[in-house]
Each structure stands twice: as C-alpha cells, then as structure tokens.
Amino acid sequence: MGVGDVSKRILLGRKLRSSQLGETLLPKRIALPVFASDALSSVAYAPDEVFIMLSLAGASAYIWSWKIAIAVALVMAAVIASYRQTVHAYPSGGGDYEVATVNLGATAGTTVASALLVDYVLTVAVSISSASQYAAAAIPALQGHEATAGALAVLVLMALNLRGIRESGSLFAIPTYAFMVAILGMCVLGFVELASGTLPQVESADLTIEPSPDYDGSLTTFALLFLLARAFSSGCAALTGVEAISNGVPAFQRPKSRNAATTLLLLGLIAISMMVSVIVLAKQMGLRYVDPHDLDRLRIDGVPVGDDYEQHAVIAQIARAVFHDFSPGFYLVVVVTGVILVLAANTAFNGFPVLGSILAKDGFAPRALGSRGDRLAYSNGIVFLAALAIVLILVFDAETTRLIQLYIVGVFVSFNLSQLGMIRHWTRHLATERDPGRRRRMRQSRAINTVGLTFTAVVLVIVLVTKFLAGAWITILAMVFFFLVMRGIRGHYDKVSVELAADDEDKVMPTRVHAIVLVSKLHKPTLRALAFAKATRPNLLEGVYVATGDDDTSQLLAEWDERRIDIPLKVLHSPYRELVRPIVAYATEIRRANPRGVVSVFIPEYVVGRWWEQLLHNQTALRLKGRLLFTPGVMVTSVPYQLRSSEIARERELREDLRVRPGDLRRGNVDRSGGDSQVPR
C-alpha cells in the first residue's frame, strides 16, 4: 500500500463494499441529530436577529417579540406538516427537486435545485461563521482569525463526512442531544423561576436602546408593519434545514418514509419549543440587544457603552442569569451552543451530496457527483460543498451579520415550488383514485399542502421585500448562475447522447488500416510493440522515429538493418527538436490522404511500481496521447512493458485482494480450508 493509500485509510477508514450500503443506513435516534442539527441550531441566532430588527425602534418594540415567535412557529408547523406528506409521497430522496420536476416540469425542478444548492452552501457558511465568532469570544487568540478558523472547521467536517454518514452521525449525536437537553433544561428552569416570581434579569437589562434615526419618534402604521416584517423574515431563518430530511429519506432505515416523517415531527416539536421559549424568556428577563455594528445605540445612564463593550449572545445572557448560582450550567449551554453551530453544517453535508447525485443521474450535474467513494458516501459532492463554503467564509470574513442577509431566500423558493407541486400531485391522483378512504387521505394531504403554500408564499414575499437590498440579490444571482450552469450541463449531455447514438454507418469497416509504431530506441519495449502491431494484421505497418540528432539517427538505422527487421522505418526530421508535433502532423497527413481509413498509433510504455518512477518515464507518451485524442480517424494503443519494479505494485494488489477484512466471514466471503486458514473466494 502506497503512502497515498495509507493516508486515505487513516482519514477515511477501510473501504466498504457496495453490498454493505445497508449497514450505513440511519436509525431515528441517529437521523435526528444528523438531519435536524441545522434547524435546531437556528435557536442560537434566529432570536438574536429578531431582537436586532426590533431594536431599531427601541426596546419598546420588544413587546412584539413573542408574537413574532408565534408567527414563525405557525409557519414552521405548516411547513413540517407539508413535508410529512412529501416524504410519504416521494421516498426516493429527491425531496423538493423531485416533487417540482415530476409535477411542474424540468424548469421548475432546476429552479428548486439551484435554490437548494445555494441554501446548502449558505447553511455551512453561516453556521460555521457563527461558531467561529463564538470561539473567538471564548478564545482571545482566535480574534481576527475567525475566517481561518471557520475554513479549518469546514475541512474537519468534510473529513468526518467522507468517512460515511453513519459514523459521522454517531459522532454528532451526543453534542446535538446535549444541546437539546441544555437549552430545554435552561428554559424549563427559567419558566419555573418566572412562575415563582424569582426570575432574574439578564446582564443587559439595565441598558437602554436609542432608536435608529430611521425609526426615531412615533412610528407610522406602515413603518411599524415594515419593521415587524423585517423581524419576522429574520426569525424565519429557523426554518432552514427542514427540507433536508425529505432529501435524505434514502439514508433512513426501513420503513424509510415512516421513520423520516417521525423524525420531522420530533424536529418540529423540539425546534418550536426551543425558539419560542428563548424569545419569551429574553423578553421577560429585560434583554437589550442591538446589531454588533451599532453598539453606540446601547446607553447606560444616557451614555453610550462604547466600542469596547462586549455584547453576549441572547442564549449566553439567559444562561448566565438562569444559572447564576450554578456556573457549570452556564458553561454547558455556551459550549454546546458553539458546538451545535459547527455540527449544523452537517445537515448540508448530508443533503447537498444526495441532491447532487440525483442531479447527476438526471444529467443536470457532472456525473462525478453521482459516484460513491470508498466509504459509500458521495465524496465528490462533499468536497465540492466544502470548497464553496470555504470561499464564502473567506470572502465575507466569517461575519454572520453579513451572511445572514443572503440566507433563507433559496429555501423559501424551494418551499413554494414544492408545495405547489404536491398540490398538483394529489389533484392528479384524485382524478383516478376510486377508494373512498384513500381519496379522503389525499384530500387531507392536499389541504395541508395548500396551507403550507399559502404560508410560505407570504413569507417569500416578505423576505424578498425586506432583504433584497440588504444582500438577498446576491443569492438570487447565485441561483440564476447555478440554473444556467445546470441547463448548460444537461444540454451538453443531450448533444453527446445524440452524437453517440449508434446507426448503420457505424457498421461500415474502414477501407484501410495504416499502423505506425513509435520508436525511440531499438529495445525490448519497441520490439514488443512491433510484434503486437504486426499481430493485428494492418494493411500497412511501419515504424516511425523522430530524428533530433544525426548521431542517434545513424545508430538506430544501423541497428535496424543489423537485426533485419522486416518492417520499414520512417524517419521524421525535427530541426527544432520537437517530438509530439511531427508525429501528429504525420498521422494527420496519412488520414487526409485516405479519409475512410484509420491510422493506428502504437506507443510503447513502461510500467513501474513506485509513484516517483512514473515521473521519470512516459511523459512524452502522455503528451502525445493527449494531442492524438483530438485527431479524427486516429486510434491510440498503449503497449505496456513491465519493468521489475512493477512486481512491487502487483504483489501489493495481490496482498490487498487476499486480505481478509472484518465481516468477510459473516458475509460468506471467505472459505475455511483446514485449521484456521482462510482463503477469499
């Protein structure tokens, strides 16, 4: 095993056979943290964004916070109920893309796919950027290096997911459940203190908020509605990640649809409880929270707090107050919140590759995205997502407040088209279904999807109006870019398919085969290539030598005559010492002289066993093959000659084939032949 293979095994683990795909499927207890961490993690920043928007009109506007939380919760409940219908109707894992494609057409499906791809990338960028900000607040050494820390975190997540979703899910389960327990425990304790009249105030309760100049004075009805719409659209960031379960149904254990629907229900109950509880507690505990770039609007006794004031996140302020007599509780909440923000990106790392594989299968993405890696994960999709997310983190310097403006536009585009597609799905099936019980369930499902469409359409309009100039236009441009790229890829594959379609002309034999064997020296590889070319019985066979010096040419001609080789040798003179161009020109000239003929070029090549030896041989052959591939009517054949070092590689492969891997005996892949010896079948 080479150095590269050893490093790959250390990072990714042992290879898995295709037959072991069932062993990577997720039970509900693992699927919940794997697919729900994104939606759950939004509790760490969605309440912050709600209070930031409301603070523009001063702390008096916080009276609307719990109402906005209820509105977001209603939208989330409607969306989750709608997606429960989707996972039952489309269990293949296409999710919004499949629903839109089947019911609304390829254009709608491609639009949904472009929206989801952008949203997955932003999910990773926003979650990791927020986590890096938390880390920098806790570790002073990271201040000013948040983008670098975020990029490294993405690379770690990429490596974990390349090992396979079951292993990464097991690693992520403990911190995700710890986050649920910590936040819900904090909220329960806070409400108990609220009921008993002992609820403490948060650290910022003594501050006052100076309204933004745009909202200073009494608010008009329109200004108030616009402010509430902005706060609501920011709070709707809590809905991102809900669609990931519908895209990841194939990763669930059987029964897949029922397990996915149950996981969706659990996600909704937990996410709604956490978000509403945090917002209500923050309001009751006197929170004062503004945009980190507007700290001068925070006042203490009428004096601005100053740029050196450290404004802690909403959850951190609540935890410090609730656990005022129990500091480990505070640190637990802060630590698991930072960890869950990193793990939230794992939702995208599971959804993006699956969607990419489906797009590749349908011809809208490079086919490499549909290939499974050594650990049966869609490795190319995972790497591609990591690369895009790192670019965003570095470009926006890991600033969550800048990235959040690009967020949720894409996901609500997919929500709307998906719900519209589901309505058409049920309408089409109702036209042919005659069973009364099934018709009743279909009408119920259609009603649920209609409510979901109504809610998501309203939210999409609000998001576009309130966020377009703040950065949503960048997301829209990115969606258009992905849409055009996917359509271009599909067009390319369609053209190639037409070109490759077999017809009667492909049965016509070439009128003549002119074979040439490339000669550099008269040694064993050349003689083997001459013998092999002769065995193919071409109409004309000749050796071709490119002469760059008189001495070498004279020596080769003398050896050729001395060995009495009965194949003519053609000498191509190259005064500028070029090797590739003369051969390509000669092959092209032969083809031009006989357009219905074929030129067959035989190239002797060394086979070596060590990677560094490959750098010392065959470089000219590689360049030549690259040029000849673009020459019509020219066929290229490599004639290998195994050097002794190639035995190293052959023995290495043989040992790898004979090695008994864990689980081979249980699966019947080995035989026992006396004693303890095992021979692979």
- For 503-540, give the DSSP string: -GGGGPPPS-EEEEEEESSSSHHHHHHHHHHHHT--SE
At residue 114, the pLDDT reads: 92
Fold held by 505-643: Rossmann fold (3.40.50)
How far is residue 645's CA from residue 211's CA, in Å, rounded to a whole number? 77
At residue 282, the pLDDT reads: 94
How far is residue 124's CA from residue 343's CA, in Å, rounded to a whole number? 9
- Per-block average pLDDT, block size 10, for the chain (681 residues)? 44 46 64 78 84 88 92 91 86 77 91 89 86 73 83 87 61 83 94 93 91 75 85 83 74 83 90 93 92 84 80 88 89 86 77 84 84 66 91 85 75 88 92 89 92 89 82 87 93 84 67 90 89 92 90 89 91 85 92 90 84 70 86 89 73 58 54 45 40
At residue 93, the pLDDT reads: 62
How far is residue 490's CA from residue 484's CA, in Å, rounded to a whole number? 10
The pTM (predicted TM-score) of the whole model is: 0.69
For 131-185, give the secondary structure using H, E and C: HHHHHHHHCHHHCCCHHHHHHHHHHHHHHHHHCCHHHHHHHHHHHHHHHHHHHHH
At residue 4, the pLDDT reads: 43
Domains 22-494 and 505-643 in one fold? no
String of DSSP letters for 398-444: T-HHHHGGGSSHHHHHHHHHHHHHHHHHHHHHHTT---HHHHHHHHH
Among the listed residues 246, 248, 257, 237, the one whose alpha carbon sits nearest the alpha carbon of residue 83: 246
At residue 663, the pLDDT reads: 53
* Superfamily name and number for 22-494: Amino acid/polyamine transporter I (1.20.1740.10)
Give the strand order in the sheet containing 598-607.
Answer: 569-573, 540-547, 513-519, 598-607, 634-642
Domain ranges of the chain: 22-494, 505-643
At residue 657, the pLDDT reads: 56
At residue 549, the pLDDT reads: 80
